[in-house]
Amino acid sequence: MYRAQLKRVRRARQLVRSQRRQLLVLELDCLVGLTFHTLTQTLTVHLSPEAVVQVVEAVRADLRERQQVLKQQAATLKIEWQREQALKD
């Protein structure tokens, strides 16, 4: 049980790291717009250079927070697994 959960958390952490690298590349390539998707519609919004800075900072902060939450989840899962192993012994 813990192994599967930890594997999912690790994959999610890898995805967040990848997204942070992609964000950096987009920022360096001069991000010019955002596309929002729903099940039935797509909307593309063109951004001014000032808005790009705000969007990038907001996304970066969200990814950083997500990475910290996942790191904490992984640590909690490891501690729970270790406790369970200690009780078995």
Domains of the chain: residue spans and CATH: 2-88 (1.10.287)
Distance CA 8, CA 55 (A): 28
User: What predicted TM-score, i.e. pTM, was given to this entire model?
Assistant: 0.74
Specify burial of residue 70 (Cβ count, 10 A radius: 0-12, 13-18, 19+).
buried
Does the pLDDT value for residue 27 go beyond 90?
Answer: no
Distance CA 6, CA 32 (A): 37
pLDDT, tens only, 54-75: 988 999 999 999 999 999 999 9
